Amino acid sequence: MSNPEVERSIEAILMVVDEPVSEVILAQVLEKPVEEIESALLALEASYDERGFALKKISGGWRFYSDPQYSAVVEKFVLDGQQSRLTQAALETLAVIAYRQPVTKGGIEEIRGVDADYALRVLLERGLIEEAGRLETAGRPIRYATTLEFLRRFGLGSLADLPALEGDAEALRHLDLRSEATDSSSASGDEADADTDAPSTPAQEDAATD
């Protein structure tokens, strides 16, 4: 049975952290066996079932997160309230990267229809995205992908936990981007035929390597 005092101590620590904390670190700070910390964490996790927040283990550590079922009101607060941290443009850009990654600046602008310079700079500064190589086309544009900080910030265990898209949004996810199409104009004969079947977007390239 979990120790109530240990549970309260864990709560106090996790209320002030910005990054998930592992059982080992908590055990060292509280000078308790790791097994006892694990038991307390599981007891706390179960006790928040009917609250507006949850205790979750993500990226090897524990942290408090708002309950996903209240994401609409949290999003409204973030977008409309005085505590807004990301602009609508930055959030939309982040969404494109999350679902299309790795994707170039040109690909993002093709989907959104507006310049992405400022939004990308903000997201890079916040550590929510990172450079993920370059696309092998003219100019070798940088490709962008989300980071572990992105998963932590939004309470996701992995990219597989991203909400499913529907309708036009789902169609955009699989859209062939002209800005990211490979250049096969110089190919001929068998090489040209081979290039016809080559992936022309980051999403297709990833699928081709699975």
DSSP assignment string, 80-122: HSTT--S-HHHHHHHHHHHHH-SEEHHHHHHHHSS--HHHHHH
What backbone phi and psi angles, to 5 degrees, belong to 61? -145, 170
Residue 8 Cα distances to 37, 38, 142, 201, angstroms: 11, 14, 46, 50
pLDDT at site 185:
39
Domain formed by 85-181, architecture: Orthogonal Bundle (1.10)
SS3 123: helix
Predicted local distance difference test score (pLDDT) of residue 69: 77
Burial class (CB in 10 A: 0-12, 13-18, 19+), 23: buried
Radius of gyration of the chain (CA): 22
- Side by side, the strands of the sheet bearing 142-146 are 103-104, 142-146, 129-134
Q: What's the Cα-to-Cα distance from 202 to each of 9, 103, 123, 144, 205, rounded to whole Å?
A: 46, 6, 20, 10, 5
Q: Which pLDDT band, with edges at 50, 70 and 90, does 137 fall under?
A: confident
Q: Name the helix (H) or strand (E) containing 113.
A: none
157: nearest Cα among 82, 62, 92: 62
Percent of the chain with pLDDT strictly greater than 70: 78
Domain limits, CATH 1.10.10.10, in the chain: 4-68, 85-181
Tens digit of each residue's pLDDT (9 = 90 or more) over 141-189: 999 999 998 888 888 888 888 888 777 667 676 677 777 776 543 333 4
For position 176, what pLDDT does the model report? Answer: 75
Task: Record the pTM.
Answer: 0.49
Determine if the peptide bond prior to 141 is cis (ω within 30°). no
The CATH T-level fold of domain 4-68 is: Arc Repressor Mutant, subunit A (1.10.10)
